[in-house]
Amino acid sequence: MVNQTTEHTLKANTVVQVAHSVKEALELKAQRPLSSRLISGGTLIQLEREQGKVLPEQLISLEQIPSLRGIEETEDFMIIGAMTTLSECANVECLKTVIPTVASPAVRNRATLGGNLMYTCGDTIPALIALDAKVTVVDGAEERTVSVIDFLPLRADEPIVTHIHIPKESVESFFYQKVGFRKSFSKSQLTVSSMLCLDNQRVQNNVRFAFSDGERAAMRLTSTEQALVGQQLTKSIIQEASETLRKELALIDTATTYQRTVAKNVFISELINRMEGSFE
Amino acid sequence: MSKSRKRPDGNAKVTGELKYLTDRTFPKMLYAKVLRSAYPHARIRSISTERTKELPGVEAIITHQDVPGVNGFGIITPDQPVFCDDKVRFIGDAIAAVAATSIEVAEEAIKRIDVTYDVLPVLDDPEKSLAEDAPKLREDGNVLYKKNFTKGDVNEGFKRCEAIVEETYHVPRQMHAYMETEGGVVVPEADGGITVYMGTQHGFKDQFQLSRILDLPKESIRIVSSPMGGSFGGKDELNVQPYAALLALKTNKPVKLHQTRAESVISSIKRHPMTITIKTGADKTGNVIAHDVQIVADTGPYATLGPAILDFAVEHSAGPYRFEHVAVNGTSVLTNNAVSGEFRGFGGNQITFALENQMDRLAEQLEQCPTAFRKLNLRGEQDLGPLEQRIVPTTGASDVLKNVEQLKKQIETRKDHPFLRTGVGIAMAMHGGGLGFGRLDGAGGRLSLSDDGKIDVSFGFEEVGQGIVAVIEELTTEALQCDENDITITIGDTNRVPHSGSTTASRGTSMVWHALERMKQEFKEKLCEKAATLTGEPKDELRLGTGGIYKGEVQVLTYRSLRKQLHHDDQVVVETSFDFPTTPDEVDGGHYLYTFAGVLAAVEVDLLTGQVNVTHLHQAISAGEVINELGYKGQIEGGGVMSLGYSIMEDVVMEKGHYTKPNFDTYMLPTISDVPRLTVDAIEKLPDGDGHGPRGVGEIGTVAVAPAITKAIHDALGIWINKIPVDPSIILQAVEKEGGTWWNEFENEQPIASHK
Ligand SMILES: Cc1cc2nc3c(=O)[nH]c(=O)nc-3n(C[C@H](O)[C@H](O)[C@H](O)COP(=O)(O)OP(=O)(O)OC[C@H]3O[C@@H](n4cnc5c(N)ncnc54)[C@H](O)[C@@H]3O)c2cc1C
């Protein structure tokens, strides 16, 4: 008898459903709230699968929802669809220093901004906090727009992110640095970002400092911000801010000494760089 | 002759057109998976495959009971079980394997194999293994091997020293990280034998090892082993060949086994982590009088080449220097960590890091220039080798040192940025080629005129990505004065190639050259003789050339027509076999041919993050003639980048015998962004009358990089590093201890704004 080989495959455990509108995605999600998950670029989900996480029974793809793609410019905002890839986002002026630090070119061609915001410690999050970005989310029937920092705890309910609105503030006043384990394509050890607008060397009200430890959700460093608001950026103010920052970072008990020291150093170096005439 | 010829295998590799052995498929092919241990150290109480048998698509399940021959492998001692029966000794130990009709079924099947264990204490550090009450990993204890070397009396020597440096150095477990993970296909043949399509560095050794395991005659096992996607020493030892072979024989179907990266990380061998304690002393003028070295290597649970690697480290403990009194004690210790084995540099990288750091520290203590201090202690052309054995005369040591010294003078120290410090460091190394005295180190090759009228040149070497095909092409066309269209190159198939020994120990280029030197005259004469008979031209006036046989500038016969006109049985074949040249002195493991590297590294240290940015890596190499420029540069630059990873980022960290970085998302290798400016100077000159030809350069580019980088960090910040990869938090601590150099400057300087 001929030795026949028939291929046996296991029953697939995961079904991918393609939604064509946000409404349809919501309906699909409502059908199996506990055993489904949205998928955009799928790069995080792929990473998690490689790490041994089991895929849910249903993946709801947002790829075929045109309204979630693209970048629109209004007078005050850059409005970015959640399904816009990181590679496309690199064209947005204020994200020019941010996007190249995330993953690799190939990953960025698939990865989306919405997906990055939903990733616990997505590298764009500290930047979006510093930029005071807002997020539009649809949760059940409701659609709302909230600031990124307020959005972070809402992620647990798995809403659909539809758009990210970035105010067109001064790009020169924006700062971002990711500290990885090598020069590119690395997990973050820590990521910091700030917005520091100066008028005649005086710190304006919209000062924002954000910190992420590369594991947990990013946070704002409000005491440090308070110490700077309205102050003239001088050596002694920087010295004071440095001390406040040190204390504020010390309160983050999940952070390592290395992370705290580097975060402080990097922020302070940015203040020094911004101070007129320093190190000249 | 174009020395910068493109690699014959280059285009197909770069375009992705080339099929690797792991890309092959065969009709009716099955897929295999190996079940590895759940614990780093445990007694196996039971193995049950009952639940696997029910799974449709599973065609065979094998355990230790299914090994017909020796249940073990190892290039020297077969002490690593193919399948564990009573005990597992590291997390990569194999317990069972499955062949199924798809990868998914095979994966599910191994999950259904039930193994019960009695967990044993984990020896995750050589120190623990050496403790009195440590459980024994083998009957005679936990020391795999010891190697000592003494010259003079160090204790007497230290009495005469004015400056003494004593330090302990730690070097990491590095991963080869070849692009193509282990695997391929094993195909059962009609005659009861098998063909193994899997990458290796030594096809005939795999054939031998498999024959022992499978209890099959060697002739029944054909190994097809080139091309492969990288090895760096990592595939010289057997890896997954036995599993696919056993399953193919059991099912009588082709079986594919290709490890995922995560599976590869778990099971593959790694570079030996070592702890090296050295005490070195010099007199007032800077002559090193005494050098006392203790090496402890974490070799994992099985031997593979652990002893030979320790021998190599011990041999190179004093590197290119001549010290009056030397004592080296090396111990290779068994642990429940990853199996450590062969890796580009072969123990030289570890010891060179420690030795070169000692030299720099001593120079500082003596307030001498590190280069002048090295020169003072450097070997001369006619000096004995490091084991006091006779070696081939060489000026390599002083040549490479001069080269980097010159460059260092030219590099302007750039004005420091407030948050950056820059530094430059140099280091050097001496590295033996071949396996050393007393080791079977046969080589050979074959030239023949094949039926299609091509000159076939054949070696038992493997193309692992290093460029041996380009070297063979270059040397053959040069030796025979023909061109690349006249020749075919046959490698990587035990059915078709002669024994050349392993593609290891920087021996490939050297052995190809030697083989051709031995064969070329006889081969040319044979061809000319046949041509003379056929054409009636006087034999002595004929010569080989492009496309055929020439008389003067006139072609009298093409190779093709020569072949056609010969009787079929009239074969033109020249073969040679010989041994890699060794020292005439009976010094076990002692080398004879050495290469040298001088390295200059420039770094920028970020004071805010403690991170090190290597900005320039220069290597001066003394290894005789360059055979292929691109290949040579590729080896040195690639080796440099590999060691940049070793110096500042790579470490296969294990905690309690488990890998903490199981994949490339956390195990950091340099990417193209981390690659600094790379420059290579080849010093080709050899002493007059050197008849040994070009030396191999597969390893030398990796050996002295780390100490150059750490010296550059010292130059930048004034801190000594005794552990690699360099930990940015240690650098940051050092910077912060001084109150943060940049912060002090800021606090103490008057910013211009406040002047206004
Ligand atoms: C090799 C590799 C390297 C990486 N490196 C980095 C890195 O350096 N920095 C970094 O930040 N990330 C990194 N990532 C993670 C990931 O690629 C990015 O975070 C990416 O932006 C995720 O986007 P995505 O569209 O692929 O998300 P997906 O994988 O599709 O989804 C991610 C999560 O977001 C949810 N989600 C997706 N879209 C929406 C939406 N519109 N509304 C609500 N929920 C949504 C999904 O349900 C899922 O939980 C890396 C991933 C890989 C594979």
pLDDT tens digits, B147-166: 999 999 999 999 999 999 99
Strand order in the sheet with B487-490: B487-490, B455-458, B442-449, B573-579
pLDDT at A276: 81
Nearest-Cα distance to chain B for A214, in Å, is 13
Name residue A58's beta-bridge partners: A15, A36
pLDDT at B754: 34
Closest chain A residue to B747 measured between Cα atoms?
A235
User: Domain locations in chain A?
Assistant: 6-61, 66-167, 173-278
pLDDT at A139: 86
Asked if residue B720 lies in contact with residue B361, where contact means CB atoms within 8 angstroms, the answer is yes
Q: From chain A, pick out residues whose CB is under 8 angstroms from the CB of B30.
A: 5
Of A183, A234, A257, Cβ closest to residue B674: A183
Of B57, B418, B674, Cβ closest to residue A279: B418
pLDDT at A279: 60
Nearest-Cα distance to chain B for A239, in Å, is 8
Contact A277 B756 (CB under 8 A): yes
| Pairing of the two strands A15-18 and B42-48 | unpaired
Q: From chain A, pick out residues whose CB is under 8 angstroms from the CB of B57.
A: 7-9
* Nearest one of B377, B402, B413, B216 to B283, comparing CA atoms: B377
Contact A50 B663 (CB under 8 A): yes
Q: From chain A, pick out residues whose CB is under 8 angstroms from the CB of B744.
A: none
DSSP secondary structure letter of residue B715: H
Whether residue B204 is predicted with pLDDT greater than 50 in this model: the reply is yes
Q: Is A87 in the pocket of ligand 1 (CB under 6 A)?
A: no
Q: From chain B, pick out residues whose CB is under 8 angstroms from the CB of A234.
A: 753-754
Q: Is A44 in the pocket of ligand 1 (CB under 6 A)?
A: yes
The residues, ordered by sequence, that sit 6+ positions from B133 with a Cβ below 8 Å of its Cβ are none
CA distance B740 to B751: 18
- Report, as an integer, the average pLDDT of A93-104: 97
Q: From chain A, pick out residues whose CB is under 8 angstroms from the CB of B729.
A: 256-258
pLDDT at B411: 87
Whether residue A280 is predicted with pLDDT greater than 60 in this model: the reply is no
pLDDT at B235: 97
Express each pLDDT in A230-264 by its tens digit. 999 999 999 999 999 999 999 999 999 999 999 99
**How crowded is residue B39: how many other Cβ atoms within 10 Å of its Cβ?**
22
Asked if residue B154 lies in contact with residue B292, where contact means CB atoms within 8 angstroms, the answer is yes
CA distance B200 to B494: 12
- Report, as an integer, the average pLDDT of B445-471: 96
CA distance B343 to B297: 14
CA distance B92 to B268: 8
What phi and psi, each to the nearest 5 degrees, are found at residue B372? -65, -40
Work out the pLDDT band at B223, boundaries 50, 70, 90: very high
Contact B753 A272 (CB under 8 A): no
Q: Distance, CA B650 to ligand 1 centroid (Å)? A: 26
Low-confidence winner among B480-489, B609-618, B729-738 (lowest mean pLDDT): B729-738
CA distance B687 to B700: 20
Whether residue A2 is predicted with pLDDT greater than 50 in this model: the reply is no
DSSP secondary structure letter of residue B180: S
Percent of chain A surpassing pLDDT 90: 89
DSSP secondary structure letter of residue A232: B
Express each pLDDT in B574-621 by its tens digit. 999 999 999 999 999 999 999 999 999 999 999 999 999 999 999 999
Whether residue B54 is predicted with pLDDT greater than 80 in this model: the reply is yes
- Report, as an integer, the average pLDDT of B183-203: 97
Contact B732 A258 (CB under 8 A): yes
Asked if residue B79 lies in contact with residue B93, where contact means CB atoms within 8 angstroms, the answer is no
CA distance B85 to B62: 12
pTM for the complete prediction? 0.96
- Residue carrying the six token digits 């911004």: A274
Whether residue B750 is predicted with pLDDT greater than 80 in this model: the reply is no
Q: Is A82 in the pocket of ligand 1 (CB under 6 A)?
A: yes
Percent of chain B surpassing pLDDT 90: 95
On average, the pLDDT of chain B sits at 96
Whether residue B753 is predicted with pLDDT greater than 50 in this model: the reply is no
The residues, ordered by sequence, that sit 6+ positions from B392 with a Cβ below 8 Å of its Cβ are B581, B592, B593, B594, B690, B692
Whether residue B484 is predicted with pLDDT greater than 50 in this model: the reply is yes
Nearest CA residue ID for atom 40, ligand 1: A161
| Pairing of the two strands A58-61 and A15-18 | parallel
Whether residue B505 is predicted with pLDDT greater than 90 in this model: the reply is no
- Residue carrying the six token digits 């004034």: B718
Express each pLDDT in A177-201 by its tens digit. 999 999 999 999 999 999 999 999 9
Q: ipTM strictly over 0.85?
A: yes
* List of long-range contacts for A204-211, beta carbons under 8 Å, 24+ apart: A204/A229, A205/A229, A205/A230, A206/A132, A206/A169, A208/A129, A208/A130, A208/A132, A209/A130, A209/A245, A209/A267, A210/A125, A210/A126, A210/A127, A210/A129, A210/A130, A211/A126, A211/A249, A211/A252, A211/A263
Contact A278 B751 (CB under 8 A): yes
Percent of chain B surpassing pLDDT 70: 98
Contact A182 B747 (CB under 8 A): no
- The token duo for B26 is 């065969």
Q: From chain A, pick out residues whose CB is under 8 angstroms from the CB of B663.
A: 50-51
User: A173-278 falls under which CATH superfamily?
Assistant: CO dehydrogenase flavoprotein, C-terminal domain (3.30.390.50)
Whether residue A169 is predicted with pLDDT greater than 90 in this model: the reply is no
On average, the pLDDT of chain A sits at 94
What phi and psi, each to the nearest 5 degrees, are found at residue B715? -60, -35
Asked if residue B37 lies in contact with residue B91, where contact means CB atoms within 8 angstroms, the answer is yes
Of B252, B732, B752, Cβ closest to residue A262: B732
Work out the pLDDT band at B746, boundaries 50, 70, 90: confident
pLDDT at B415: 63
- Report, as an integer, the average pLDDT of B233-249: 98
pLDDT at A170: 84
Q: Is A107 in the pocket of ligand 1 (CB under 6 A)?
A: yes
A160 class by beta-carbon count within 10 Å (0-12 exposed, 13-18 middle, 19+ buried): buried
Low-confidence winner among A145-149, A170-174, B398-402, B472-476 (lowest mean pLDDT): A170-174
- Report, as an integer, the average pLDDT of A148-165: 96
Asked if residue B107 lies in contact with residue B59, where contact means CB atoms within 8 angstroms, the answer is no
Whether residue B756 is predicted with pLDDT greater than 60 in this model: the reply is no
Q: Can you state the angle between helices B705-717 and B728-737, rounded to 10 degrees?
A: 20
CA distance A148 to A117: 9
Low-confidence winner among B1-5, B415-419, B515-519 (lowest mean pLDDT): B1-5
Q: Distance, CA A134 to ligand 1 centroid (Å)? A: 19
Q: At the topology level of CATH, where does A66-167 sit?
A: 3.30.465
- Report, as an integer, the average pLDDT of B335-353: 98
B85 class by beta-carbon count within 10 Å (0-12 exposed, 13-18 middle, 19+ buried): middle
- Testing ligand 1's pocket by substitution, the residue of A53, A60, A119, A120 carrying the most ligand atoms inside 8 A of its CB is A119
- Report, as an integer, the average pLDDT of A7-33: 87
Work out the pLDDT band at A6, boundaries 50, 70, 90: low
CA distance B158 to B292: 9
Of A8, A181, A269, Cβ closest to residue B668: A181
Domains delineated in chain B: 10-120+181-267 (3.90.1170.50), 124-173+270-378 (3.30.365.10), 401-431+594-756 (3.30.365.10), 442-579 (3.30.365.10)
Q: How many CB pairs under 8 A join A and B?
A: 110
DSSP conformation letters of B57-97: TEEEEE-GGG--S-S-B-SSS--B-SS-SSEE-STT-EEEE
Question: Please, what CATH class does the domain formed by A6-61 belong to?
Answer: alpha beta
Closest chain B residue to A266 measured between Cα atoms?
B608
pLDDT at B749: 73
pLDDT at A4: 44
Asked if residue B543 lies in contact with residue B528, where contact means CB atoms within 8 angstroms, the answer is yes
- The token duo for B252 is 């009588």
Q: Is A56 in the pocket of ligand 1 (CB under 6 A)?
A: no
* Nearest one of B422, B435, B472, B738 to B579, comparing CA atoms: B435
Closest chain A residue to B420 measured between Cα atoms?
A269
Whether residue B2 is predicted with pLDDT greater than 60 in this model: the reply is no
Among A265, A271, A278, most B C-beta atoms within 10 A, so best to mutate, is A265
Q: From chain A, pick out residues whose CB is under 8 angstroms from the CB of B108.
A: 10
Count how many Cα atoms sit within 13 Å of the Cα of residue B394 in the half-sphere of its side chain: 31
Closest chain B residue to A258 measured between Cα atoms?
B729
